[in-house]
């Protein structure tokens, strides 16, 4: 009889714990991106997701930020990897893809469709999305560049998600922020990218902590 009572109590406690919101120290962010996210040439410890994690903790927002960056990836690759990213059970998804699409001249409708699929997959699971804007160099004409730029604000409005206007603001063509290849950010560049993202991410993160 005693054993049966203890078993019943354990079941009640377990079900109660499962129904409670997660503690702030278990909240998680996944950054889904390409080499700008992965830390190409500088390592993950200096890449912007790691910088963001440190900045959040300094702001008393103890989130874990998981780096799902893959060098050379495109928005199509992001669609293929979105399930693995969401399997981390994140509360927030930083969606930072498109740079390689722009370099390769991927048609704008395809880029848009891929980003839509990623956003919809995250929102279907209740994951908040932070979309990071990207621009395309005028390698395929100015119309392509302008149409590419418009993808991000239009999707942010469509899905009601916050938008980092341009992920690489202050980094592009800035020798002090780039590796010798003049393409990928160095450690200072990664910190600048994190600074571009942080105000938008901080607002999302603070809102989650307030309701946890």
State which fold the 22-211 domain adopts.
Rossmann fold (3.40.50)
One of 40, 68, 149, 184 is an active-site residue; which one?
Answer: 184
| pLDDT of the residue at 24 | 47
Angle at 88 between CA 83 and CA 91, to 5 degrees: 100
Q: How far apart are CA 56 and CA 200, in angstroms?
A: 12
Q: Which of 35, 40, 55, 101 is catalytic?
A: 35
Q: Give bridge partners of residue 164 from the DSSP assignment.
A: 132
Edge to edge, the sheet with strand 64-69 lists 64-69, 28-33, 92-96, 128-132, 163-164
- For the question of residue 73 being annotated catalytic, the response is no
Q: In this predicted structure, what is the pLDDT of residue 10?
A: 39
Blockwise average pLDDT, block size 10, the chain, 212 residues: 37 35 71 98 98 97 97 98 98 98 98 98 98 97 98 98 98 97 97 98 95 80
Active site residue 184: yes
Q: What pLDDT, on the 0 to 100 scale, is given for residue 26? A: 74
Whole-number pLDDT of residue 25: 56
């Amino acid at each position: 009889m005693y054993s049966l009572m203890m078993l019943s109590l354990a079941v009640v406690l377990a079900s109660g714990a499962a129904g409670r919101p997660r503690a702030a120290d278990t909240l998680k962010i996944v950054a889904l991106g390409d080499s700008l996210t992965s830390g190409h040439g500088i390592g993950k410890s200096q890449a912007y997701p790691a910088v963001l994690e440190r900045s959040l903790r300094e702001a008393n927002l103890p989130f874990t930020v998981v780096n799902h960056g893959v060098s050379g990836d495109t928005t199509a690759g992001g669609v293929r990897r979105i399930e693995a990213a969401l399997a981390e059970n994140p509360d927030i998804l930083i969606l930072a893809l498109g740079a390689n699409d722009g370099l390769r001249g991927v048609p704008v409708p395809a880029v848009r469709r891929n980003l839509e699929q990623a956003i919809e997959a995250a929102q279907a699971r209740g994951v908040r999305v932070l979309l990071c804007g990207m621009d395309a160099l005028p390698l395929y004409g100015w119309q392509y560049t302008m149409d590419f730029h418009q993808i991000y604000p239009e999707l942010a409005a469509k899905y009601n998600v916050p938008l980092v206007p341009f992920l690489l603001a202050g980094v592009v063509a800035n020798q002090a922020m780039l590796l010798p290849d003049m393409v990928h950010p160095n450690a200072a560049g990664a910190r600048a990218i994190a600074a571009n993202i942080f105000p938008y991410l901080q607002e999302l993160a603070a809102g989650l902590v307030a309701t946890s």
